[in-house]
Structure 1
Amino acid sequence: MEIRFDNRVAIVTGAGTGLGRCHALGLASRGAKVVVNDLGAATDGTGTSSDAALAVVDEIKSAGGQAIAHGADVADPDAVADMVAQTMAEWGRIDIAVNNAGILRDKTFGKLDLDDFRKVVDVHLMGSATVCHACWPIMRDQGYGRIVLTSSGSGLYGNFGQSNYGAAKAAMMGLMNVLHMEGARDNIRVNVLAPTAATRMTEALIPADALALMSPETITPGLLYLVSENAPSRVMLGAGAGCFAQTRVYETPGVTLTGEITPEIVAAQFAGISDPKGQKELASAFDQTRKYVANAARARGLTLDWN
């Protein structure tokens, strides 16, 4: 069954170049009305220009689609509120929010200025939260919403010299987990895309022959699935060079200690604590609490009435 977005309205942040541009074009090609958001800044977040966003709007319109441009800084609540208000005035609904805008200010942690740390977190984390927060009541009232947060292998696995970027990108998982729970009743589905692509943010970091395999066009099909009507929710989808994989967080069964608990005992038991046999995903933080308390009660021969 073909995935279409007819009569759907999508906001795509950072959509003037690279992945965001590809996402916006992909959505529009399948019927979505698209808000092309781009501040027009350099990769480090400095400067502004509307040229890139307007160029993407022209591409969409030339192909017979509908689009408007907006230059909101995603970390500015007033600017985001204006973008949402203009979208509602133009089309009367917001169905999809693709949080793609980002900047880089790479430097090893010991040499990093905390202002640069804060700025990267502001754009990636606070920017995503600000856009989601502005769209949330609209999606809730509609009984329909699809949100994608953009993470990265730097956040999920780490990358030298990217403590600010990695911390912000790791936060996407936590934001997704909670928004998934809170949005489920109102048919708001929330997922994470963790892409690796040839863009202006990666061109200086990856060899040319590898970049040739990593076009944004190999990633956007995954994004389109994550914001489709039959999309999953609470999925972290890794994507790059045509490869797609799901990232999951598992917890080992662990070891329950009773009696005196000392750091030496924890050290002696660490191999068992780390044993992956029987590991599984947990659905919520409270599931983890239940697991620990149930294990503790069982180890002491207690029966808990905890419904």
Structure 2
Amino acid sequence: MTYHSGSRAVQDRVGVRDLADHVGQAIGQGIRPVAAAFLELQPMLVVGAADPDSGAVWASLLTGKPGFVRATGPRQISVTGGAAPGDPLVPALAAAGTPVGTLALDPRTRRRMRLNGRARPTPRGFAVDADQVFSNCPKYLQKRESYETAERTPGTARRGVELSGAQGKFIESDDTFFLATVHAHGADASHRGGNPGFVRVDSPSELSWRDYPGNSMFLTLGNLAGDPRTGLLFPDWESGAVLQLTGTARTEFTEDGERTVRFALTEVIETPAASPLRWSAPEYSPANPSPDAGEQVHYPGK
């Protein structure tokens, strides 16, 4: 099944069902040779899933030497190393059959590939048996020419139930985040990008962003229509720090077709130097809309 009822409801509301059916033909279950080759070149992978105990949805950034993610069959990938100790997705990836969404994104080429399926632990990390495999266009994806691997020791994770002033300002200065959502039969990890300021911090526990026009599949908004649990991941492309947020999200629609997603925070985890990767400065996507006056960095913090 390419789309579930939530995605269909959003497609119908926006009036893009026929286009979604056409685009959805690109979703398959097999990993083509070109996709397998792409995966083996990547030093990072985003994974989204729900914690089997708390039910909270998280998105995590996994890193390793190119080849740490590889296709090991026509419908399977393996990941060496898994999530770092203390990462909120460790329990999910340790349980066999956990629905997961994965996203391999290469800022150097502005290419990305998504693979959704079910994870199971392996002696060296975990594997994912694919249900959906597909690529997305480079829209809203910032180009970063290169990266280097820095000698870093991850810092102690700091947990909270609302954003600090510094965290809020970082979010509003970032140009990329990752979004994990779930539905009754699976999970998904996706990308959101824009010029700095495209995400608003409306309060220490609330974020919002415009949903820019995309591929018309509405996998993410479709998931939110049926299950509001959401995980967000904001990376610092230079220092390697990451912010992981979990909570719930809902979509507001206007009569003129504009969409805004509003996120309510339940918990935030900040991990300094979580990633050893230091990426070069971004070249912003030419597709990025200029931020509206209301989307400028404004959060004063506490």
What's the TM-score, normalizing by structure 1?
0.28
Bigger proportion of residues as helix: 1
Bigger relative contact order, structure 1 or 2, given CA contacts below 8 A and separation 6+? 2
The structure that has the greater radius of gyration is: 1
Bigger proportion of residues as strand: 2
